[in-house]
Chains A and B, each alone.
Chain A
Amino acid sequence: MPPMLDKLRKVAFRLLQAVPTVFGILVVCFLLTRALPGDPAAYFAGPMADAESIEEVRKTLGLDKPLLVQFITYVGDLAQGDLGMAVSTGQPVISELASRLPASLELTLGALVLSFMIAVPLGVLAATRPNTWVDHICRFLVTAGVSLPTFFTGLALMYVFYYLLGWAPAPMGRLDMMYLPPESVTGFLTIDAIIAGEWEILGAALAQLALPLITLALFTLAPIARMTRAAMLQTLGSDFVRTARAAGLSGHRVLITCAFRNALLPVVTTLGMVFSFVLGANVLVEKVFAWPGIGSFAVEALVVSDYAAVQGFVLSMALLFVALNLLIDVIYTLIDPRVGEEV
């Protein structure tokens, strides 16, 4: 079937296009870490080290070689799946990422789901009553959420719900110390707890998740609600909705079956951007709630110029995005014949 083949060709082309991006990311990532001020060798040699021991540490870290050699070594190691050692935590970067990525993703995805559940109905509500006080209040609320720095929201929530009221558990990571994490299958504590059937642990994990989740969700309400509203307005004004109305379908059915389903596609595609937004915000929220995710790891690594760790973090994040965007693009290419040449 030629059209199908053509689409596959386009998908392959799109995948190929990602190669220079990935290479660009490698270079930027490498140069950025090397541009970080400070001498990691001096830092990691410790407070009392003399010049000689600093030199030894520099050799161990491989920093005595020229930049180009370092880069080639880096890419070579990378090809073998070796991301190097994070000196600041003393673990291989790959195992750090493996253990921390699920923590961050659990938070990020959880926040997206929560925000989706709130923002989409708000957006629909606003779209059905444009320019009324309902619309204005919705707009006011979601904009207020995105106008506050996340670390501020996080600390304020913690102050009220943990410190003053005592409703939330102590903000010390993913699970209260009184519990042991369930057997790791997915790395997501909540899902692992369900798999293991440990309901008490599930409850504990959810309790720890609550505040950081709300903090992040507040921040992401706005883009999702706005997009939903815009898409809904557009579909509600379109011909097929008018036709459906004219055919005598009830207001509710038109709203749900025709308009909402059509409006959902652009909303889902914005998720890529919202995801980027949330992962950035994650860095700050993780710090506040002592969440053992990759964001907090990256901040610490950056402050001490831990090259391997920063590179590993940025690289994995970037690849995650490339993959996500590729996925969105590919799905689009497969669905829509008009898209494809555009990037």
Chain B
Amino acid sequence: MTGMNTPASPKLQGPLRTSYWQHLCHVASENPVTGLAFGLFALIVGMALFGPYLVPFDPLDTGVGPALQAPSGAHWFGTDHLGRDVFSRVVVATRLDMLISVSAVAISFVLGSIMGCFAGYFGGWTDRITGRLMDTIMAFPLFVLAMGIVAAAGNTVENIVYATAIINLPFYARMARAEVSIRRNAGFVQAARLSGNSELRVLFGHIFPNTLPPMMVQISLNMGWAILNAAGLSFIGLGVQPPAPEWGIMVAEGANFIISGEWWLVIFPGMALMLAVFTFNLIGDGLRDLVDPQRRT
């Protein structure tokens, strides 16, 4: 539909090369912002994996301190309206947030690529039906559609994941379709076909790997959106159920305390949220460098 959803593909090339790793190191050293992003990414993954074992307090315990205390030595990020430790909650929330964004993006990536590949490879009715379906999804303002789905299906973590996956689906489907359709008659594909590979094998064994690099960019950008999306849903009351710590709901709840001056309730989860989205966005840019230095944006 628009140029951004289906960026022109990099030059036709074979399967992924191992020299990507070298290129990555090169790009990271060349571009300090991307280097920073990969550092932050490692930190976030570390927090998601080990956070719950490292925090000083139980994130759900309402009795660890007096309510609404400003940051101090005992509670680095202060305490919330129920006397819970904000630092512990922010750290522990990483896991749930990563879970939501990773699984949402994984679902839309897998489904979207399959649909897009078939549409692009076989064309005809497959293409038309997929195209119309994606048009229908794209026709809704994305956040509003997510809102509707979660409201209709009930606000559980799974439904937030599904809703986020559905609204991201068209991006992958379109991209896969575009990447596949320009390659379906390329030389290496013809060669693979002549050497007796089945159609599916050609599609997923030979063509699909080539679509991965631009997809990686989309994935990292969508990871950021997924978190923002969950936060927005929380703000209108459709997010994760309490008392689970989640950045979005913490920001949404904390936002009510800005005017009364309890800034720490919103600033710290907000910073964490921002940092994560920021990291994914920067990584997306960095990956774009890897994929196609010409089109770096």
Contacts and interface: CB of A to CB of B under 8 A. Distances in A.
Contacts of A226: 285, 297
Contacts of B215: none
Interface in B230-254: 231-232, 235-237, 248, 251-252
Contacts of B273: 147-149
Nearest to A127: B297
A24 B136 contact: yes
Interface string B102-128: 000000000000000000000000000
A7 to B, nearest CB: 19
A140 to B, nearest CB: 6
A223 B255 contact: no
A297 to B, nearest CB: 11
B228 to A, nearest CB: 6
B138 A149 contact: no
B296 interface: yes
Nearest to A275: B141
Nearest to A28: B136
B142 interface: yes
B274 to A, nearest CB: 4
Contacts of A313: 144
Contacts of B132: 17, 20-21, 24
A37 B238 CA distance: 13
A321 B235 contact: no
A176 B231 CA distance: 30
Contacts of A48: none
A139 B31 CA distance: 12
Size class of the B contact interface (CB-based, 8 Å): 35 or more
B33 A139 contact: yes
Given A24-B133, A155-B255, A273 B5 contact: yes
A13 interface: no
B1 A314 contact: no
A146 B224 CA distance: 9
A7 B26 CA distance: 48
B140 A25 contact: yes
B61 interface: no
Contacts of A41: none
Interface stretch (B12-20, B69-77, B195-203, B275-283): B275-283
Interface string A42-71: 000000000000000000000000000000
Contacts of B139: 21, 25, 318-319, 321-322, 325
A55 B105 CA distance: 44
A156 B267 CA distance: 10
A266 B277 contact: no
Give chain B's interface secondary structure class.
Answer: helix
A112 interface: no
B54 interface: no
Contacts, number: 178
Contacts of A287: 235-236
A266 B3 contact: yes
Given A151-B235, A314-B140, A270 B3 contact: yes
Interface in B29-44: 30-33
Interface in A199-226: 222-223, 226
Contacts of A136: 31-33
A257 to B, nearest CB: 22
Interface in A1-52: 17, 20-21, 24-25, 28, 32-33, 35-37
A99 interface: no
B22 interface: no
A237 B294 CA distance: 9
Q: Specify which of A146, A229, A234 lies most central, judged by the most chain B CB atoms within 10 Å of its CB.
A: A146
Contacts of A144: 274, 278
A63 to B, nearest CB: 16
A283 B274 contact: no
Given A146-B281, A155-B255, A222-B281, A21 B136 contact: yes
A230 B8 CA distance: 12
Interface in A289-328: 295, 298-299, 302-303, 310, 313-314, 317-319, 321-322, 325, 328
A273 B4 contact: yes
Contact of A280 (B2, B31, B144, B259): B144
A240 interface: no
Given A269-B2, A321-B139, 7 more contacts: A32-B152, A37-B152, A148-B270, A227-B4, A233-B294, A284-B236, A321-B140
Interface of B: 1-5, 30-33, 131-133, 135-136, 138-145, 147-149, 151-154, 224, 228, 231-232, 235-237, 248, 251-252, 255, 258-259, 266, 270, 273-275, 277-278, 281-282, 285, 294-297
8 contacts: A37-B152, A146-B277, A149-B248, A269-B3, A272-B2, A314-B145, A328-B1, A329-B1
Interface of A: 17, 20-21, 24-25, 28, 32-33, 35-37, 130-131, 136, 139-140, 143-144, 146-152, 155-156, 159, 163, 222-223, 226-227, 229-230, 233-234, 237, 266, 269-270, 272-273, 276-277, 279-281, 283-284, 287, 295, 298-299, 302-303, 310, 313-314, 317-319, 321-322, 325, 328-329, 343
Q: Which 8 A-B pairs have the closest CB atoms?
A: A280-B143, A230-B297, A24-B136, A35-B152, A147-B277, A318-B139, A147-B278, A226-B297
